[in-house]
A = this chain, B = another copy of it.
Amino acid sequence: MNLAKVIGTIWATVKDENLVGAKMQIIQPLNHDEKKIGDPIVAVDTIGAGPGEIVYYTTAREATIPYPTRIAPIDASIIGIVDRIDIYRNSN
């Protein structure tokens, strides 16, 4: 799983039928210092993350698990809203 910030959303009328009703957020992957890593990606959001919130997301097959039907062409999914990040002393 990786950290990311919710930075936008995508609108699409023509799409695969399994995605009708799914909220597609644009998220910017971050490292544990909340610095950007690479380019933003598109992720399904089933937990209701708001603009600017820090979340963590999962990729690949497991990304369909939070989705109601679990049969959808989804490869990234927001799975938690981060309250706090603790870095252990002397471990880094």
Contacts and interface: CB of A to CB of B under 8 A. Distances in A.
B73 A16 contact: no
Oligomer copy total = 5
Interface of A is mostly: mixed
Contacts of A6: 88, 91
Contact of A85 (B10, B14, B85, B91): B10
Contacts of A60: 60-61, 75
A90 B8 CA distance: 11
Chain A's interface size range is: 35 or more
Given A18-B65, A61-B60, A62-B61, A31 B40 contact: yes
Interface of A: 1-3, 5-16, 18-19, 24, 26, 28, 31-32, 37, 39-43, 46-48, 51-52, 56, 58-66, 71-77, 79-92
